[in-house]
A and B are shown apart, each in its own frame.
Chain A
């Protein structure tokens, strides 16, 4: 039982780390918490469900569609909203409220467009053969999802560390004012990261029906809380932190489900409360965070 919870915890953890990645990037660069993050995850899930049921598109193809579509959505949302917000009196608090409004709008639009009923994808989409490992067997979709998540996290890492734009992103994360003073295109970088953050959220959403089960329009806020907990457990602005936070979350969730199943719904909330009260800079955090 213990090995089973540990391995499935790792598989789920990789997925949840990927789900939190977009939130982490947006907070790191813009100091704004995207409260609508979970709603973009759910939107990605709906995209996968719609593309699968109408066009029989494989979710792997939907991943690419989600990336392109939500990158454009991100750009369309960024320019009317964010520059105006950054110039206001209290950007941090106002952005929280703005994204909260956006999350309400998205939730309402999803109810209007798709109805209240939960939607899901068949788990047998990649075949029924289970994956055997150390004497236990796991759903093959879990392994594929975890693999895709790991690949996406690795690509994001390469983007941040080995491209010019990625270096600019890390400079802005480190110190916004100094980055601006050295002539880096801070606004363009922010726009790219905002759109990328939404696209990553939607991509994880495409995979989410396999891991979370069914999605309904109200799942968003819960997913935002989980993603925020993961981001805080790892550290802000560090993609490896997301992986670590995801693993901590996934493994604790699976252990609780195995040994204390009736209390397992509390896991994300308790983890979040413990970490913000005991070590608010996160497990990989170095200095003090000003937020």
Chain B
């Protein structure tokens, strides 16, 4: 009896491992092979960028309960860190992308006192923080550093293929990171903090340190994504990379798929970004109407997202 139970749980564990490793492999294969059959590489690239951002939101919201409306701030700072490294110090593209991620982490350290807030206070204050960043970067008094409202033009280092590959790498690494965190004791510690920080602290979990680690990691993801995004565009304005709709889409994609899982944001990005491309480009207000209604319906009827339909039957979803 005991033996059969043990062997069954072992079987389950290996099934879970397989399901878990399948997600990043599918993402890798999908975005590496689809450019061969699908000609519109811009759509594929942007879908990857939004998927990475959705995973970043998922890391922060799904595991710690902090909903970052101002997540786009890290994205924009990443793009600007990359652009300034190229314009001011003439760094090569890939190194500049790393600088973008680094600058984003530095900004996250500066804004880490925001983690003292919770709920709506954190959500709206992070929005305010991203507005501050956006307005500082686009201020005309800083034109010599950031290009101010006139934006950045990096045509000398435009390299669509390398930036596409870099985006695949960052996306796959992000997905793997999410899987590792979700299955490691660290992830369970985070969820304990999300449910009840006081009890978690009493159980010996370093609440502040764990939250800060997640905060910096999610900033790094957004910073690298923003840097590669800016590199791929090579000409952008502050309003392009600090567009609030970027945070909004990343949050909607995460909620639609289901936060706290790794599959949820992947699913949400593919379905909703596909929908966005079908109707959102020509008639953005109808897409906005649809996802507004979708969010309201999800909150009222399906707070766990689409994957909770599968989880409800007792199936394991990575």
By a beta-carbon cutoff of 8 Å, the part of chain A in contact with chain B is 33, 81, 84-85, 88-90, 92-94, 96-98, 100-109, 111-112, 221, 224-225, 228-229, 232, 262-263, 265-266, 268-270, 272-273, 276-277, 280, 291
Contacts and interface: CB of A to CB of B under 8 A. Distances in A.
Contact of A228 (B124, B291, B293, B303): B124
30 contacts: A84-B300, A93-B65, A93-B119, A94-B303, A98-B300, A100-B248, A101-B292, A101-B293, A101-B298, A101-B299, A102-B292, A104-B292, A105-B288, A107-B285, A107-B288, A108-B285, A108-B289, A111-B285, A221-B127, A221-B244, A225-B131, A268-B128, A269-B129, A272-B125, A273-B128, A276-B121, A277-B113, A291-B118, A291-B119, A291-B120
Contacts of A265: 135
B121 A291 contact: yes
A269 B120 CA distance: 15
B119 A273 contact: no
A276 B120 CA distance: 12
Q: Which residue among B117, B120, B285 has the maximum number of chain A CB atoms within 10 Å of its CB? A: B120
Nearest to A103: B292
A97 B125 contact: no
B124 to A, nearest CB: 5
Interface in B283-298: 285-286, 288-289, 291-296, 298
A33 B117 CA distance: 15
* Centre residue among A101, A232, A262, A276 by max chain B CB count within 10 A: A101
- Counting chain A CB atoms within 10 Å of each CB, the highest count among B117, B248, B299 belongs to B299
Given A263-B139, A266-B135, A269-B131, A101 B296 contact: yes
B292 A108 contact: yes
A225 B120 CA distance: 11
A57 to B, nearest CB: 28
Interface string B57-84: 0000000010100000000000000000
Contacts of B286: 108, 112
A101 B118 contact: no
B116 interface: yes
Contacts of A81: 296, 300
A92 B131 contact: no
Contacts of A89: 303
Contact of B293 (A90, A92, A105, A280): A105
A168 B299 CA distance: 29
B121 to A, nearest CB: 6
* Pairs A-B, 4 closest by C-beta atoms: A101-B295, A104-B292, A105-B292, A108-B289
Contacts of B131: 225, 266, 269
B123 interface: yes
Given A107-B288, A276-B121, A97 B255 contact: yes
A188 to B, nearest CB: 21
Given A97-B255, A101-B295, A33 B128 contact: no
A33 B300 CA distance: 17
Contacts, number: 115
A18 B298 CA distance: 33
A125 B310 CA distance: 60
Nearest to B136: A266
A281 to B, nearest CB: 11
Nearest to A289: B121
A101 B289 contact: no
B107 to A, nearest CB: 13
B199 interface: no
Interface in B114-162: 114, 116-121, 123-125, 127-129, 131-132, 135-136, 139-141
A96 B140 contact: no
Nearest to A232: B121
Given A109-B289, A291-B119, A97 B295 contact: yes
Contacts of B293: 101, 105
Nearest to A36: B292
Contact of A272 (B128, B136, B139, B294): B128
Interface string B245-279: 00010000001000000000000000000000000
Contacts of A225: 124, 127-128, 131
A276 B117 contact: yes
Contact of B248 (A104, A111, A291): A104
A85 B300 CA distance: 7
Contacts of B300: 81, 84-85, 98
A112 B288 CA distance: 11
Considering residues A88, A108, A272, which has the most beta carbons from chain B within 10 angstroms of its beta carbon?
A: A108
A102 B296 contact: yes
Most chain B Cβ neighbours within 10 Å, of A109, A276, A291: A276
Nearest to B69: A100
A269 B132 contact: yes
A277 B288 contact: no
B292 A33 contact: no
Contact of A96 (B120, B285, B289): B120
A56 B248 CA distance: 38
